Structures are given as structure tokens and as C-alpha cells.
Amino acid sequence: MTVSQRLAEFSSQITFEGLPAEVVEIAISCVYNYVGCVYSGSAEPPPVAMIKMLEDYFPTNGKCAIIGTDRTADPVTAALINGTAANAMAFDDMFKDGIHHPGASAITAALAIAGVTPVNGKDMITAIVLGYEISNRIARACNPSHYRFWHTAATAGSFGAVVTAAKLLKLTPEETIWAIGSAGTQATGLQECTGNMAQRFHLGTASRNGVLGALLAKSGFDGPPRILDGEKGFFKAMSEYKGDLLELFADLGEQYTILDTTFKFYPCCGHIHACIDGAIIAMENNGITPDQIKHVEVATYQTALDNSGNPTPKNIPEAKFSIPYCVAQGILNGQVTVQEFSSWPPTPELQAMMDRVSFCVDPEVEAEFPSQRGAKVTVVTDKGDFVERRHSRKGDPDCPLTRKDILQKYRALSGIVLSKEQVDEIEALIENLVNLEDVTVLTAFH
């Protein structure tokens, strides 16, 4: 059996009735998180530029909503723009073991397909759980070697999106294999794009790849049957993984990786979160005020520095990948919210605090990566040095956000672009997701 055959087999077997209650519950939390991210992200520069492109060059309306706007498009274009919007605030969910953002591509794909074929709430939940389970396992196996060059959310995300779309289109096993192949050959996204609009594009392309691959297969377009495990396939070309690829999927339907979803507490690169946590907690626990701080040393893992060790960001997108910027904001404000990324350039006070933040690799923290995303933060003051060691981030599975936290995040994000009445209406729809007859109602607000 090939890997694609195994994935197609599981896709045909998974049902809503077979999902454990806790899996359904976390899937609904993922939808809350996604909807807040995609509506707030719809007003950010990357999707706004895409919508301008749509208006200038693709004026024909379609069946699928461009979420947060009154525009519509074909499902492939809608997936591209909505997937980009879902990641535009850098606040979408994560699977830490795979250095991966599974929700933006899988849920975007589900809603795009819902625009062209009937999808109810139970079907949507089932399909996105499938997308998480498959993309998470691919992401976990191909890393950490893959992440040196490739953005996992773009690559593994393409596979999550395609199986989600294929499930909702009710593709046959053979068609699902074709769809996986077509999506997989498009699965790319280079780390050179970190800190600019093209990085946000990656979640859009993953969503688009999946929707396009599934729609092509539905129309009789075949694809490579061994895109994952072939001699010239994904794992050979883009990972150092040497194990049995079929073993990666042996526990499908028994263990659910969606239960290990991280819900981000800060709207910036996830590699910085433990650094922010450490600085804020050190100050709170020791009664430190910003004016008392002489220096802050952030010791973390090498990948965090590779992605976010930027001491001199030149704009807000780069600031979201800057340890000094994000840690300094946390120190000065006691929090890091979307407000901390709402204006540029940094104030003199913020710049002065950024200049006091240094970073380095800590061997113990490095040894824990990628299973833990920790940091050791040392706050140096006239009255002494105060150290806070964080093994995980707020929002990780071992330090989870509550449903109340997730609802507050959803309300705060969606409230950026929607009225309170609209926010409340969408919340009621998501709360009743298992009974919705048509999930496109989630995309109808602007």
C-alpha cells in the first residue's frame, strides 16, 4: 500500500459519528480561532493587495465569499485570498511537534468547497479533523530538517487542505489519490519569505493547492500516486526522514493530533511566545517596572533565532519576527496584542527597550526543541538578576487556553472589522456548528 492509498482509505472511513467528543469540541475551538483570524486578517495588507488584484484583473464574481468583504470569487481564488487572510494577523493555530499551522489551510479549504457544494456542520468538522490529522503527521515527520528551507504550513498545509476538500467533494479513493498528487506537486513555500507578505501568501497557496487539486480530480484529472513516498516524491526531496512512512499513519482514527493544537496567545511568530511569557512573568513575580530594567537576555533555541532574531525590524511584518521588538512590547505594556503592531515606527521608549534586549542559544532549551518551545529570560536590574525559565508557551497543550480564552480572542479579533451584533451572531452559529445545515453562513458578514 502506498501512503496516498492509506490516506485515501482513511478519508473514506472517517465519519462524524466516529469522532470522540473531545475531538469535536477542539475542532469547534479551532473554528472559533480561525473565524476570528480570517475576519480580522481580511483588512490586513496582504489580502487587501490580493483583492485589488482580483478587482483589476479578475472581475467576474463567483460562488465563494471573500471573507470579510462583499466580494465573491471562484473557489480556487477564494481559497488563495481567504487562506492568506487567515494567517495575516500571525494568530492562527499551530501544531508544535510539526512546526506547522494546520487550521488556516484546512478550514479555508472546507469553506471554499462549501461555496460550490452543500456542506453542513458535521461534514465540515469531519473534514477539517481529517485535514489536521494528515497534515500534522506529515509535518511532524518531515521536520526539523524540512523547516531549514521550507515553510511547513505551506507544504504540509497543502496536504491538509486537499484531503479536507476531497472529503467534502466526496471523491472516490482513486480520485483522492489523484488530488493528493496534484496538491503535493504544488506544495512549496521557502523560508526566504519570512517577515513579508509572501510569507502570508504561503497559507493562501496551501489552501489553493488543496482546493485546486481536489477540483481537478473531481473533473477526471489524474495525479502521481506516490507523491509522498515515491523515489522523487515529497519526503525524498524535502526531508531527511528515514523511517517507514506508512507507520506515520498507523494510528489514524485512534490518536488525534488535533487535541495537541496550540492556540496562540500573541499575534506574532510562535517561536517568540515563550520569550514574551518569560519577560512578563519575571516582571510580575518580582515587582519589576520597566524603568528598573538595565538589560534583558533571552536564551532560547536556534530555530527561534533563525526565524525571529531580527534586532532591527523595518516594518510591522518584520516586527512580528523580532524577539527584541516583541519582548520589549511585553515589558512596556504587560501584554502583546494586535494593538502593539498597529503603528510604525517604534516610539523612542520602545526603541530604547529593544536596545536592552539581547538573545542567544541556550543548550538546554535547544535540546528540548521541537517537542518544547521554551526560553530562559534573565531580567537584569539594579536590585538583582531575575530568571524565568519557560518550558512551553501559554496556549500550548500543556499550558492550554480555556474555551473562555479562545472566545475572548475570537471576539477581540472579529470585533476589529465586525459590529458587536455580527460578532455575537457568528458566535451563536459556531456554538451550534454541529447542527448547521449550511456552513457558508459563517462567511456572509462584512
Domain boundaries of the chain, sorted by first residue:
3-264+404-443, 270-390
Side-chain half-sphere exposure of 166, counting CA atoms within 13 A: 37
Which architecture characterizes domain 3-264+404-443 according to CATH? Answer: Orthogonal Bundle (1.10)
> pTM of the predicted model, to two decimals?
0.94
pLDDT tens across 291-341, in order?
999 999 999 999 999 999 999 999 999 999 999 999 999 999 999 999 999
pLDDT tens across 280-291, in order?
999 999 999 999
Q: How confident is the model at residue 84 (pLDDT cuts 50, 70, 90)?
A: very high
Q: How confident is the model at residue 196 (pLDDT cuts 50, 70, 90)?
A: confident
Q: How confident is the model at residue 87 (pLDDT cuts 50, 70, 90)?
A: very high
Two domains, one topology: 3-264+404-443 and 270-390: no
At residue 81, the pLDDT reads 97
Side-chain half-sphere exposure of 11, counting CA atoms within 13 A: 34
Looking at the predicted structure, is the pLDDT value of residue 173 above 90? Answer: yes
At residue 371, the pLDDT reads 86
Which architecture characterizes domain 270-390 according to CATH? Answer: 2-Layer Sandwich (3.30)
